[in-house]
Amino acid sequence: MKTDIKTEQNNGNPLGYEKIGKLLLSFAIPSIISCLVNSIYNIVDQIFIGQGVGYLGNAATTVVFPLMTIVMAFATLIGSGGSAYASIMLGEGKSKEAKLTLNNLVTLSLGLGLIITVLGLAFLEPMLIKFGATEAVLPYAVDYGSIVLLGVPFSILGISLSNMARVDGNPMLSMYGILIGAALNTILDPIYIFVFHWGVKGAAVATITSQILSCVILAVYFAKGGHHMGFAKSMMKPVKRIYNKTLTLGASAGITSLVACIMQVVMNNSLVYYGNQSDVGGEVALSAMGIVMKIVMILGSFCIGFGVGAQPILGFNYGAKKYTRIKKTYRLAVVAATVSITAGWLVCQTMPELILRLFGSENGQFMTFAVKCMRIYLGGIFCAGFQIVATNYFQATGQPIKASVLSMLRQLLLLIPLLLILPVFFGLDGILYAGPAADIGSAVIVACFIVPEMKKLNQKIKDQQS
C-alpha cells in the first residue's frame, strides 16, 4: 500500500501548503480544457453535421441533447460526489477510504450506464418526440441517438475516472484523456460524414469511439496503481456507505444536469410551438437555439473548470481545517471564473455572426434568428461565474443541501417558469428574454447564500488565530 496520506500531510502535501494561485491554475486549467473538450464533442458534431447535412441535422442533435444531459447528470452525480468524498478523506488522512471510493465508482458507473443504454434504446423514439422532435427531424434524431446510447457506459465511467484523477493529484491526465478522445472525434467526423457519407450516424460513431478511448486511457492509469488510489478487484464490491456519501455529495451537481434536461425539453417544445406561430418556423428556431446552447456550454466550461479545479483544494483543506486557505481559494476561483466568462460574453455580443457561420449558413432566416438568439439569450451570462463556484464550494465543504438548492435555482426555480410564462406575452422573443432574467435573478439569490457563509468562515479563521 502506498504511503499513508497522514504521513504526506506531515511532510507537507501540496494541497495544504502550496500557493493557492499556483494550485488553482494547476487544477483549473486541465479542468477547463476537459470541460471545453466535452463541449467540443457536441459542437464538432454540429459543425460537421451543419456543413454536411444541414440545419435539420443540427436540429436532430438539439433534440437528442436532453438525452445526453440525462447521461451527464448521472455521470456528474457519481463522479463529482465520489471525488468530493475522496478529497475530504485524503485531507483527513484516510487513504484506504478514498481508494475504496474509487473502486466503488467503477461498479456504479458501469452498472448505471448499462441500465441507461437498455432503457434508452427501448424507448428512444417516443422519448425524442417528447423532447421536441418534429416529423422532419425525427429520423435524423433516431439515427444519432441510437448510436450515441451505445457509448453511455464508457462515457459515465470516463467522467467518473476523470474526476478521480484530479483528486489523485493528476489533473493533467484527466485533461489528456479527454483531449485525445476529442482529437480523434474531430478526425473521424469529416471522414464518416463526407467520405463515407454516413451523415448523422457517422458523427455518432465518431463520438462513441472517442469516448471509449478516453475511458481506456484513464482506466489504464488507475489499473497501474495511480498516486494514492488504484484499482483493486476486492474493493469493487458495492459498499452502502460509499454509495450514500457519493450520491449525497454529488446530488447538487447531478441535480444541475437533470434540471438542465427538463429545461431543454421545455425549451425545445416551446421553440417549436412559438416558432411555428412566427415567421421563423419551429425547426429553424430549434436549430438556432441548439447552437446557442452549445456556445453556453463553451462559456460555462471556464466557470465549471475553475469551480471543479478548486474543489480538491477546498475539500482537502476543509478536512485539514485550514480555513484561511479555503477562503483564498474561493475568492480567487470566483474572480477567475467571472473574468473569463465576461470575456466570452463580450465576444458573443460583438461578433455573433463570425461564430455562427461555423455551423452553416445556407438559410438566411436561420442566421438572422441565431444572431438575435445569441445576443439576447446570453445577455446576462456574465453573472454565472461566482454562482457556479459557490455551488462547488458548498459541495466541496460537505454542505450538500445548500449546494443542491443553488443547483436547482437558475433553471428549475427561475428559467423554466420564465420559459413558460414570458412567451405567452411576448411570443418567441419571450423564450430569449427568459435567459438573462434567470441569470441576473439567480445571481442575487446566490449572493444571499454565500455572504453569510463567508462571514462564518471569517469567524472560524479568527477563532483559529486567537
Q: What DSSP line would sit under 359-406, residue for residue? A: G--S-HHHHHHHHHHHHHHTTTGGGHHHHHHHHHHHHHTT-HHHHHHH
In a domain, 381, yes or no: yes
In a domain, 4, yes or no: no
Average pLDDT on 360-380 reads 82
What is the C-alpha to C-alpha distance for residues 17 and 342, in angstroms, rounded to an integer?
31
3-state secondary structure of 1: coil
Average pLDDT on 397-404 reads 80
3-state secondary structure of 153: helix
At residue 219 the predicted structure's pLDDT band, cuts being 50, 70 and 90, is very high
Q: Which residues contact 395 (CB under 8 A, 6 or more apart)?
A: 80, 84, 249, 250, 252, 253, 311, 403
Q: Provide the mean pLDDT of the chain.
A: 86
438: pLDDT strictly greater than 70: yes
At residue 42 the predicted structure's pLDDT band, cuts being 50, 70 and 90, is low
- Check residue 8 and give its pLDDT: 41
- 296-321 pLDDT per residue, tens: 888 888 888 898 888 888 888 887 88
In a domain, 375, yes or no: yes
The count of domains in the chain is 1
11: pLDDT strictly greater than 60: no
What is the C-alpha to C-alpha distance for residues 335 and 317, in angstroms, rounded to an integer?
20
Domain that holds residue 438: 22-465
Nearest Cα residue to 67 out of 139, 108, 121, 136: 121
Q: For the whole model, what pTM was predicted?
A: 0.69
Nearest Cα residue to 302 out of 106, 94, 24: 24
- Check residue 362 and give its pLDDT: 56
- Check residue 13 and give its pLDDT: 65
- Check residue 270 and give its pLDDT: 92
In a domain, 340, yes or no: yes
253: pLDDT strictly greater than 60: yes
* Ramachandran angles phi, psi of 92, nearest 5°: -85, 0
CA angle (78, 82, 85) in 5-degree steps: 150
Average pLDDT on 229-234 reads 90
In a domain, 16, yes or no: no
172: pLDDT strictly greater than 90: no
What is the C-alpha to C-alpha distance for residues 397 and 445, in angstroms, rounded to an integer?
20
Torsion of CA 73, 78, 81, 86, to 10 degrees: -160
Selected residue with higher pLDDT from 124 and 10: 124
| Percent of the chain's residues with pLDDT above 90 | 34
At residue 9 the predicted structure's pLDDT band, cuts being 50, 70 and 90, is very low
What is the C-alpha to C-alpha distance for residues 315 and 265, in angstroms, rounded to an integer?
34
In a domain, 195, yes or no: yes
At residue 354 the predicted structure's pLDDT band, cuts being 50, 70 and 90, is confident
In a domain, 424, yes or no: yes
361: pLDDT strictly greater than 70: no
Selected residue with higher pLDDT from 351 and 465: 351
Under 8 Å between Cβ of 438 and 415:
yes
- Check residue 316 and give its pLDDT: 82
Q: Is 334 left (phi over 0), alpha (psi -120 to 50) or beta?
A: alpha
In a domain, 7, yes or no: no
363: pLDDT strictly greater than 70: no
Selected residue with higher pLDDT from 54 and 439: 439
- Check residue 261 and give its pLDDT: 81
- Check residue 1 and give its pLDDT: 40
